[in-house]
Amino acid sequence: MAKQVVPEPARRRRRPTKQGTVLSERLIVETALRMLREHGSDGLSARRLGAALGADPSTLYRYFAGMDDLTRAIGEELTGRALEGWAATGDWRADLRALGLRIHGAYLAHPQAAVLTASRVTGRPREIAADEAILGVLRTAGFPDPAAVRTYHAFVDQSLAFAALDAGSLALAAETRAADEEMWETTYARLPADRYPHLAATAGLLAARMKDSAYPVALEMLLESAEAQLTAAGRNDPTGR
């Protein structure tokens, strides 16, 4: 049975830890992010987190129902960081472009945490605020609800999928990542043109591009497609219904 999370007012009455720190949900999440950055997902456990905080591991269950609940809180923290400082301007393409790049960047700032959380749905306030903001941009721009939901779905999944993909690469050991990137020059660039004419013809371009994330390009393609759908919807129904 999952442990019952203690309400916020009751948490505040807790005495400081052995290190003189007053625990909070935010502090626990920030410490977990640091541990993930330093040790990877295998290094995150209630015991190790408690030791890092100078608290008994059982204390964590006053704040989270379990480690999975903490994982969702970490995911929400990354989403919240992406949303900080962002505000809709009324230019829906610019607004979504900025938010998509913020989401991608916030997750890549913590690659180990991104790999752990990008596929999770947290249902927490800041994730909900981000979802509301994205749908608000689309509906305000005139997207009919079915198109708004379809575009929202593609936008969110694309942002998080690229975040997970790119974070997975960043989470590799530096030597491993460098070896993977060198493949474009040591292997692909040397393929025989008679057997692989298309790869041989584009080898230089591939070597120059494939070391970078394709997310900005993919995001622009999604926005272009969404704009075409919005234009078509306006032609079919000038009232926007």
What is the reported pLDDT for 200?
Answer: 96
Residue ending a domain, choose from 50, 65, 80: 65
For residue 18, with 0-12 CB atoms within 10 Å meaning exposed, 13-18 middle and 19 or more buried, which class applies? Answer: exposed
Q: Do 29 and 97 share a domain, yes or no?
A: no
- Give the domain range for residue 24: 8-65
In a domain, 59, yes or no: yes
Give the length of the chain. 241
In a domain, 194, yes or no: no
In a domain, 52, yes or no: yes
The CATH number of the domain holding residue 18 is: 1.10.10.60
d(CA 74, CA 118): 10
What is the reported pLDDT for 234?
Answer: 76
Nearest-10 Cα torsion for 52, 53, 55, 57: -60
Q: What percent of the residues of the chain are helix, what percent strand, and what percent coil, each to the nearest 5? A: 70, 0, 30
Rg of the chain, C-alpha, whole Å: 22
What is the reported pLDDT for 240?
Answer: 44
Q: Do 107 and 222 share a domain, yes or no?
A: yes
Q: Do 21 and 115 share a domain, yes or no?
A: no
Rounded to the nearest angstrom, the gap between the alpha carbon of residue 162 and the centroid of all alpha carbons in its chain is: 8
In a domain, 241, yes or no: no
pTM of the complete model: 0.85
What is the reported pLDDT for 12?
Answer: 44
What is the reported pLDDT for 15?
Answer: 56
Q: Do 29 and 143 share a domain, yes or no?
A: no
From the first residue on, what is the mean pLDDT of each consecutive set of 10 residues in the chain (241 residues)?
51 55 90 92 90 92 94 96 96 98 96 94 95 98 96 98 95 92 93 97 95 96 96 68 48
Distances (CA, A) of 117 to 71, 72, 109, 208: 7, 7, 13, 30
Q: Do 61 and 97 share a domain, yes or no?
A: no
The CATH number of the domain holding residue 138 is: 1.10.357.10
Q: Do 107 and 53 share a domain, yes or no?
A: no
Q: Do 215 and 167 share a domain, yes or no?
A: yes
* Number of domain units in the chain: 2
